[in-house]
Amino acid sequence: MQQTGDYITKEKRKTLEIELEDLKGPKRKEILVSLEYAKSLGDLSENAEYHQTREDQGKLEERIAKIEQILESSQIFSSNGGDLVEVGSIVVVQKAPTPKGVGEPAESLGEEKTFMIVGSEEADMVTGKISNKSPFGVALFGKKKGESVSFMTPNGIVYYKILSVS
C-alpha cells in the first residue's frame, strides 16, 4: 500500500455515492426550478434572487465534480490487521519525553491515545481519524509496535511511542 495514495473506506464510498445521487437528482432539479422562477422576475442585471441561485448552482456543480473526482481516484482500503502501520490501521500511541540531549527536557509520558489511519477525505481529529498524508500520519506510516516517531508541529518537534498496531 502506498503511503501517499488516496484511500476511502467502503462506508465513505457509499456515503459519497448517495450524496452524488441526491445532488444530481433532486438538488439539481430544485436549483433549476429556482433559476426559472428568478428569471421570471425580470431584469437579470439587478435580480438578487437570480444571482444567488446562479451562485448556488455553481457550488452544486463544484461539489458534484469534487465527489466524482474522489470516487474516480480513490482506492477502497481494508486493514489487514498486520503489525505495520498503514491506511486502516488502528494505532495506540503515547507521548514520549524529548530524547536526552535534544533541547529542554519535556514532560513525562503522556496518556495513551488511539488513532485510525485513514485517507485524507475521512480525516477527523475529533473521532481520532488521522490522514495518511498528515505529518503525524506520515511519521507513523510503515512503523511497528515499540518504535518511536517524531514530527514537526508549530510548537516544535513532538515524540510518540507506538504501543500497539492492529
97 falls within a domain: yes
User: Would you say how long the chain is, in residues?
Assistant: 166
Q: Is residue 143 part of a domain?
A: yes
- What backbone phi and psi angles, to 5 degrees, belong to 98? -65, 135
40 located within any domain: yes
Gap between the terminal Cα atoms of the chain: 16
Judge whether 83 lies within some domain. no
pLDDT in tens, 106-125: 456 778 999 999 988 899 99
149 and 95, same domain (yes or no): yes
The answer on 95 and 71 residing in a single domain is no
Report pLDDT for 83. 85
Domain residue limits at 106: 90-165
Q: How far is CA 109 from CA 71, 113, 138, 158, in A?
A: 41, 12, 22, 12
Quick check: 10 pLDDT over 70?
yes
Task: Assess contact for 95 and 151: CB atoms under 8 A.
Answer: no
Cell of 93: 500511541
Alpha carbon distance 56, 51 (integer Å): 9
Please report, to the nearest 10 degrees, the dihedral formed by the alpha carbons of residues 126, 138, 164, 91 taken in order.
20
pTM of structure = 0.70
The verdict on 95 and 60 lying in the same domain is no
> Are 150 and 97 part of one and the same domain?
yes
> Mean of the pLDDT values across residues 136-147?
93
- Under the banding of pLDDT at 50, 70 and 90, the label for residue 143 is very high
Establish if 84 belongs to a structural domain: no
Look at the block and give the residue holding cell 490487521: 81
* Among the listed residues 57, 15, 12, 55, the one whose alpha carbon sits nearest the alpha carbon of residue 33: 57
Q: How remote is the C-alpha of 67 from its chain's centroid?
A: 13
Per-residue pLDDT tens digits for 24-83: 999 999 999 999 998 888 888 888 999 999 999 999 999 999 999 999 998 887 666 678
